[in-house]
Structure 1
Amino acid sequence: MLNCDYTGNTSYKFYNKCIIESEDINIVGEYPANKIEKALTCFADKDKWTEFYLPEIVDIPTQKPDMEGIVEVHSCVEIISQRVIKTPVVMGYTNTAGNFISGENIPNAECTNLTGRKLIIEGLLKQKVIYTADDDEQSLHSANFEIPFSTFIIIEKDTPLSQQFRITPYIEDIFVSRLSERSVFKNTTIFIKASKVC
């Protein structure tokens, strides 16, 4: 076992083997792949999307008993705000042959071009971890966590700053593992679709 102080003043016994093969955790809140595929096939010309993951280490509250094993995780995403902002644009550059390359034609490694507008989306990942207590009775307990997040989608350069979007979040995947008797690692993959509201 290792001792680790990973969040100011909390130190628990970490196990060398974090993932236990026999652990069968029920996950509630993931969208089936066919629902996300349908969201992608029902796109209008002005619809946009982004995808990101949210890793976190959370501690069981002090008033709760130590954890023997995780039974279930319930997850949902709540969108709390959206806004269109102005951002810098790539103006362009002159290559070695002396030709000017316009900024609109310079994508990054993800083939994304900066337009001067981004849709900022802020939300909460709400999760409940249900676990068995590390005692003789092995009673069930739960701990609730709310993790804030912020992400963005690059949108058209002529989008008004007052433009509103219908934001539809999907949870694609949840990975959860007990790190110690008091701490849990979770990684949630989130897909967000944004549709212009006329």
Structure 2
Amino acid sequence: MACVLSDSIEIVGICEDFPNNCQGAFTQLKVPEIVEIPEQKPDIEQIIQVLVEGIVTNLKLIQTPVGDSVEGEYLTGEKLVIEGKVHQKIVYVAKTEEGDQPVHSAEFDIPFSTFIVVPDCYIGTVKPGKEDDINVQVCIEDVFIEEINPREVIKSSLLFINAIFPPEQIAPTLALDVEPTSAAPGDNIIIRVDVADNCLLDRIEIDIIDEDDNLVDNYGQSLQGENSAEVTHIWDTAILDPGEYTVEATVYDCAGNETFSTETVTLT
């Protein structure tokens, strides 16, 4: 947690590092508020510090339609509803008749509710009622605070909310088999790719590259939600010249990991 100064007010709780495991399931939310100093507390003369923390109080998976909205948002069929609160303590120098300037504090909880569209890769990985298996992190990006009068404060917190769906991702293993590795132009080359040891796969790409680094063939296949896969591609070499070609297979998982393997094919 970082401490920053905003117009001579120390803000404690600003996020120093964003979550390093972003699966694409995140949202940003502004929480504006006007808070009133409790009656038993003295008036504000000067705010000196704000301590702020985002706390998740409830998670709920709900079903939605699938499709694109007119605003351009894609709905996958599931949303994660996130309820929480911004807990904060405002520390201030009090304005008193005695003029002794004692330091007081007041604590507030401001509720918030938002949602995250569950990415395709994670649809169905958590069942309703098991939402606690999802690791939701609340990061305070920025805080604005200003005294309206000696009894009221206007404040706005900017939140970055990230959801990590289980299980933890393991980088996939990939086995590439090309037959034959020596052929004549016009022959078909069989490319087989086996992917294993992963939790959730996204897609696979097979690229064929010539000696001048030109892409001469490409094949892609979605693997969303699979734990392992066997992919076969028939490469037609009919229009190619003799020479060496590189077959590169790359598999991507839902956490952003990628693994690749290459094989050389000679056309004679």
**What is the aligned partner in structure 2 of residue 15 from structure 1?**
none
How far off its partner does 1:140 sit? 0.5
Is residue 168 of structure 1 aligned with residue 137 of structure 2? yes
Unaligned 5+ residue runs, structure 2?
A: 1-5, 168-268
Tell me, yes or no, if the aligned pair for 2:25 and 2:119 is still in contact at 8 Å.
Answer: no
Counterpart AA for 1:169: V
TM-score, normalised by the number of residues in structure 2:
0.54
**What is the aligned partner in structure 2 of residue 4 from structure 1?**
none
Counterpart AA for 1:153: I
How far off its partner does 1:48 sit? 0.7
Is residue 55 of structure 1 aligned with residue 32 of structure 2? yes
Aligned-pair Cα RMSD in Å: 1.9
Is residue 29 of structure 1 aligned with residue 13 of structure 2? yes
Change (3 A) 1:23 1:69: farther
Of 114, 121, 129, which residue of structure 1 is paired with 2:90? 129
**What is the aligned partner in structure 2 of residue 114 from structure 1?**
75
Name the SS for the 2:150 alignment partner: coil
How far off its partner does 1:107 sit? 4.3
Tell me, yes or no, if the aligned pair for 2:22 and 2:162 is still in contact at 8 Å.
Answer: no
How far off its partner does 1:69 sit? 1.1
Of 89, 106, 109, which residue of structure 2 is paired with 1:143? 106
Is residue 88 of structure 1 aligned with residue 57 of structure 2? no
Tell which has more relative contact order, 1 or 2 (C-alpha 8 A, sep 6+). Answer: 1
Structure 2 CA distance, aligned partners of 1:43 and 1:148?
25
How far off its partner does 1:116 sit? 2.2
Q: Comparing both structures, which one devotes a greater share of its residues to strand? A: 2
Structure 2 CA distance, aligned partners of 1:192 and 1:108?
24
Change (3 A) 1:186 1:29: same
The share of aligned pairs that are identical, in percent, is 37
How far off its partner does 1:43 sit? 2.9
Structure 2 CA distance, aligned partners of 1:67 and 1:108?
47
How many residues get paired? 154
Name the SS for the 2:42 alignment partner: coil
Pairing of 1:144-159 with structure 2 (within 5 A): 144-156=107-119, 158-159=123-124
CA displacement, residues 48-81 of structure 1 (integer Å, 9 cap, x when unaligned): 1111110000000000001111000000111111
